[in-house]
């Protein structure tokens, strides 16, 4: 099969890890007999430096013509001036909106061999396996008005949390469908005791439950959800929530596995085209040093194969390789214990590639 993949390495360790994921994808193509063509484009701080825009038109156009997009990371101290006109993060928000990627999937499944790295006790981590479905193109991130004001000698600023029924419906529907294919438990997270948008969310989720009678639906207030993520993380199967709540809860969920360096994510819309990125940031302090953990990006490439290219066996081959190398004690700096041998970015990838090639 032929597929066209756009890569957006971005800033900091973005290029370090994206290169490694591409290397794995090339090996997958060779082993399974596919043709993948890769096209690199600009996003984030580097795009601002080179074109003045965090998401150049050419990048968006290329992504619209791709089967899938693999992104590294954006941002860094160089572009952090709060008064700057454009920020690297604007590129990320614009591409989510521009590609209509309203759903962000972040699976959280700690590897047993890394339970020690979790801030929670091992017995709390046992059995944790859930996925957060975060709404990605609505809520406070995009609602209007969104502005600063000056009135009566005072400054104020406003953000707007607005949700339309159709925005809620399509994301909650995805939550139900995912739950149906898993342990059939959906936690719809809101703040219905305070927010009007949450009350609409809850009303719609309740209504939609009629179409998914086999799924157990729980409405969980976001503060309770934050608490339960650390007290009983294994109780979750699928969590569906709005944009800002999802942003906060996914960082909390991410640290449960011990390192942000391990986690992939997928952003999906109506069609099969999606954007895949590790959930870690650009980590400018270690950029270019060859020590970043590439597994978050490599596992994002696996999600790309599964969700956009519909290549399930190929996705499994990568996930199995990562599983094995972690079981066998391969460690990058972020997940190594005192005295353990530490592998660099490229050596970690080598361990993935080796297993992808030799596994049946």
339 alpha-carbon distance from chain centroid: 31
Among candidate residues 141, 130, 94, 54, the one with its CA nearest the CA of residue 275: 94
Q: Does 323 bind ligand IPM (CB under 6 A)?
A: no
Query: Is 251 one of the catalytic residues?
Result: yes
Nearer to Mg ion, 75 or 110 (CB): 75
Q: Which of 191, 237, 276, 334 is catalytic?
A: 191
**Distance, CA of 60 to CA of 56 (rounded, Å):** 7
Query: Is 212 one of the catalytic residues?
Result: no
Q: Which two tokens mark 104?
A: 């962000």
**Distance, CA of 86 to CA of 15 (rounded, Å):** 21
Least distance from C-beta 57 to Mg ion, angstroms?
26
Q: Which of 57, 80, 251, 313 is catalytic?
A: 251
Burial of residue 105 (number of CB atoms within 10 Å: 0-12, 13-18, 19+): buried
Q: Which of 16, 141, 190, 212 is catalytic?
A: 141
14-32 vs 345-358: helix axis angle to the nearest 10?
10
Least distance from C-beta 180 to Mg ion, angstroms?
27
Residue number of the CB closest to ligand IPM reads 89
Nearer to ligand IPM, 90 or 334 (CB): 90
Candidates 247, 252, 323, 324: give the one binding Mg ion (CB under 5 A): 247
Q: Considering CB distances under 5 to 8 angstroms, the limit depending on partner class, which of ligand IPM, Mg ion, none binds residue 159?
A: none
Among candidate residues 114, 79, 78, the one with its CA nearest the CA of residue 261: 114
**Distance, CA of 61 to CA of 163 (rounded, Å):** 28
Q: Which of 173, 247, 323, 354 is catalytic?
A: 247
Least distance from C-beta 327 to ligand IPM, angstroms?
29
Query: Is 191 one of the catalytic residues?
Result: yes
Do residues 176 and 216 lie in contact, with contact meaning Cβ atoms separated by under 8 Å? no
Query: Is 31 one of the catalytic residues?
Result: no
Q: Does 173 bind ligand IPM (CB under 6 A)?
A: no
Q: Considering CB distances under 5 to 8 angstroms, the limit depending on partner class, which of Mg ion, ligand IPM, none binds residue 89?
A: ligand IPM
Q: Which residues of 295-315 are buried (b: 16+ CB within 10 A; e: fewer)?
A: bbbbbbbbbbbbbbbebeebb
DSSP letters spanning 160-176: E----HHHHHHHHHHHH
Under DSSP, is residue 135 helix (H, G, I), strand (E, B) or coil? strand
Binding track, positions 198-237, relative to Mg ion; x by CB under 5 A: ----------------------------------------
**Distance, CA of 16 to CA of 18 (rounded, Å):** 6
Candidates 22, 71, 92, 192: give the one binding ligand IPM (CB under 6 A): 92
Q: Considering CB distances under 5 to 8 angstroms, the limit depending on partner class, which of ligand IPM, Mg ion, none binds residue 92?
A: ligand IPM
**Distance, CA of 338 to CA of 117 (rounded, Å):** 12
Q: Does 247 bind ligand IPM (CB under 6 A)?
A: yes
Candidates 89, 162, 173, 324: give the one binding ligand IPM (CB under 6 A): 89
Question: How many of the other CB atoms lie within 10 Å of CB of 49?
Answer: 13
Least distance from C-beta 320 to ligand IPM, angstroms?
27
Beta strand segments in the chain, E: 2-10, 35-40, 68-73, 103-108, 130-135, 143-151, 154-160, 185-190, 216-221, 238-241, 264-268, 274-278
Nearer to Mg ion, 254 or 322 (CB): 254
Q: Which stretch binds Mg ion (CB under 5 A): 154-162, 239-247, 294-302, 349-357?
A: 239-247
Binding track, positions 41-80, relative to ligand IPM; x by CB under 6 A: ----------------------------------------
Binding site for ligand IPM (CB under 6 A): 89, 92, 247
Binding site for Mg ion (CB under 5 A): 247
Active site residues: 141, 191, 223, 247, 251
């Amino acid at each position: 099969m032929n597929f066209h993949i756009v890569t957006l390495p971005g800033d900091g360790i973005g290029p370090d890890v994206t290169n490694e994921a591409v290397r794995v994808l090339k090996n997958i193509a060779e082993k399974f007999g596919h043709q993948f063509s890769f096209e690199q484009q600009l996003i984030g701080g580097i795009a601002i430096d080179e074109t003045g825009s965090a998401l150049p038109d050419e990048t968006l156009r290329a992504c619209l013509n791709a089967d899938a997009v693999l992104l590294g990371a954006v941002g860094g101290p160089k572009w952090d001036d709060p008064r700057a006109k454009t920020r690297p993060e604007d590129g990320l928000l614009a591409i989510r909106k521009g590609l209509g990627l309203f759903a962000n999937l972040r699976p959280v499944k700690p590897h047993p061999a890394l339970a020690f790295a979790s801030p929670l006790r091992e017995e709390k981590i046992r059995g944790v396996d859930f996925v957060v479905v975060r709404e990605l193109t609505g809520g406070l991130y995009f609602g209007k008005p969104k502005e600063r004001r000056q009135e009566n000698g005072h400054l104020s600023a406003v953000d707007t949390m607005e949700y339309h029924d159709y925005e809620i419906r399509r994301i909650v529907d995805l939550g139900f469908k995912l739950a149906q294919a898993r342990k059939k438990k959906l936690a719809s997270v809101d703040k219905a005791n305070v927010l009007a948008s949450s009350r609409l969310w809850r009303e719609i989720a309740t209504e939609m439950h009629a179409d998914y009678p086999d799924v157990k639906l729980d409405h969980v207030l976001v503060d309770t959800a934050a608490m339960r993520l650390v007290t009983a993380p294994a109780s979750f199967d699928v969590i569906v929530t709005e944009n800002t709540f999802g942003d906060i809860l996914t960082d909390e969920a991410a640290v449960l596995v011990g390192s942000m360096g391990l986690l992939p994510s997928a952003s999906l819309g109506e069609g099969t085209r999606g954007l895949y990125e590790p959930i870690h940031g650009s980590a400018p302090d270690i950029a270019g040093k060859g020590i970043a953990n590439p597994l978050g990006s490599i596992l994002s490439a696996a999600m790309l194969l599964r969700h956009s290219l519909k290549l399930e066996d190929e996705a499994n081959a990568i996930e199995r390789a990562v599983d094995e190398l972690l079981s066998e004690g391969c460690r990058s700096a972020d997940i190594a214990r005192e005295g353990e041998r530490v592998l660099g970015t490229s050596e970690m990838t080598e361990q993935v590639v080796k297993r992808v090639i030799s596994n049946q």
